[in-house]
Amino acid sequence: MRSIDLSKLVSVMEEFSSNKLRNKYLFHLHQSNENGSLKDEEWACLKQLLEEISKVDLEINLGGFFLSYTIPQISKEFDMLKIGTKKVLNIELKSRTTGKERRQLLRNRYYLSHLGLDIHSFVYISSVNELYKIEKDELVLSSVSELVASIQDIVTQEELLIDELFDVADYLVSPIRTPERFLNEEYFLTSLQEYIKKEIISSLDKGDTLIHFISSEAGTGKTLLMYDLAKSLQISGKVCIIHCGLEVNGHMKVSDAFENIDIISSSKIEELELLQYKNIIIDEGHRIDLSLITQIMNKVKVNNTGLIVSMDRYQTLTTKDEQNDVYTAIINTGEVREYSLHGKIRTNSQMSSFIRSLFNLAKQNPNMIYDDVELLYAGSYEEAKLLFEHYYMKGYVVLNHTPSVNQEDAYKECEMYKFSHDVIGQEFDNVLVQLNDYFSYDDGILVSKQVPESEYVFTKLLYQEVTRVRKKLCLVIINNEELFEKILEILV
């Protein structure tokens, strides 16, 4: 997507009555139709603003603007952006005031702050012909002359590739991995997360539905949503968050920050009196024991307690997990409201595409370039361990499939690195995983052998591992040339 000169749109706005034709021309100027288009009222508002600008400076250079730009994956849209070498200008267009202008500009400023530039934020309201700006976090009346000065003061970059400026990973906050950013509220929920949160809180306040179930896939932001819900619900009563992974410092920091929030492991439920809580939240519910979830639901009904469960039904790790149908147990109560949280925000689009292709060769995308995926081959575990050490020193998190308690195999040699279960609910910028001769393709589907004396399904462990990645993924194939060749076909 390239920037445009707004003056080229003036004749189109004046001569063409068709909004469809205007947007088609806008796509042509941007050389992209991947971003949004302007609505009728936004076109009218833009036309009026440009007329006001021309009254102040008829010769002003209106080049270097992006209209209706959306940050990939997180659906954050800006009406007008102009990005320079030292400054960035954001202008929002409104036909009338909504009372939410300040919040929107501050939200926009958060997303733009990652550029490391001086930010100028304005909103134009056409119905009253007024321009406002953000100054010291407050919305104050401005003038078109001040806006013109800001436009003139920005030196734009040649051939700016705007998508490369916005890394989705910069906006993703994990309550567990980055608790400080969570506690400082350095995050925003997606529109779908906001909707689900609003619906759940409203329903719990009314008391019409006590049990709420959120179905989601890896990378959709379910843990952030659950912890944000807890932060809102704790204002009116005690909240218990039950997590089904290892306890880390992030859990303790968040729990210690709120008097009304307790975060405990599912393994310690028996030690806790659940009736003291107004609301109970279960994160990663697909890993909780069926008898335990049944016990919790019984207590919820007796005590009129709210229960919120998030679950990825496809992230089971063992044969027992697959038989442990928590989803059916919850849904069959008949007193549950279900939500679907979809749209991956943790991984970039090429990573999501590669992971789909890895597990099902029929889903390959020949048009996708996987420059964030690296494939390596080792003829033995000794060679592989040297690669592990090298990438570990480069800052990669090296993940190994969780071995059985009684299992003595090659994975035991790599205990210095993390196992699949060590990273449940967490994510990392750079991840290395390994695939050996346990793995193969059967009619295009990645399958794994059932290892003797192991309760784990290795393809499930692998899925858990690769969905932890945020930026770069390295796969080391160990002594399995056929598998290496199949995966290489995805990449080239």
User: Using one digit for the tens of pLDDT, what is the confidence trace for 33-87?
Assistant: 666 678 888 888 999 999 999 999 988 888 889 988 888 766 688 999 999 989 9
What tens digit of pLDDT does each residue of 454-472 get? 667 788 888 888 888 888 9
| Bridge partners, residue 306, by sequence | 279
458, 434 contact by CB (below 8 A):
no
> Looking at 72-217, which runs of residues are DSSP E strands?
76-83, 87-94, 118-125, 130-135, 138-141, 211-216
Q: Is the pLDDT of residue 323 over 70?
A: no
| Bridge partners, residue 134, by sequence | 139
Structure tokens at 176: 């567990």
Strand, helix or coil at 90? strand
Q: Which pLDDT value is given to residue 191?
A: 74
Q: Which pLDDT value is given to residue 426?
A: 75
**Residue 154 region, left (φ>0) first, then alpha (ψ -120 to 50), else beta?**
beta
User: What's the rounded mean pLDDT across residues 232-260?
Assistant: 89
Q: Which pLDDT value is given to residue 33?
A: 64
User: What's the rounded mean pLDDT across residues 120-142?
Assistant: 95
Q: Which pLDDT value is given to residue 374?
A: 94
Q: Is the pLDDT of residue 414 over 70?
A: no
What tens digit of pLDDT does each residue of 133-153 get? 999 999 999 999 999 999 999
User: What's the rounded mean pLDDT across residues 196-225?
Assistant: 84
CA separation (Å) from 278 to 203, 215, 264, 271, 372? 14, 22, 16, 18, 45
Give the span between the Cα atoms of 355 and 362, in whole angstroms. 12
Query: In whole numbers, what is the pLDDT of the chain averaged over residues?
Result: 83
What tens digit of pLDDT does each residue of 348-383 get? 677 888 998 999 999 888 888 898 899 999 999 889
Q: Which pLDDT value is given to residue 102?
A: 94
Confidence grade of residue 213 (pLDDT, cut at 50, 70, 90): confident
Q: Which domains does the chain have, with CATH numbers?
A: 7-166 (3.40.1350), 179-341 (3.40.50.300), 349-491 (3.40.50)
Instruction: Spell out the residues 6+ positions from residue 473 whose beta carbon is closer than 8 angstroms to its own.
Output: 351, 354, 372, 373, 374, 430, 431, 432, 433, 466
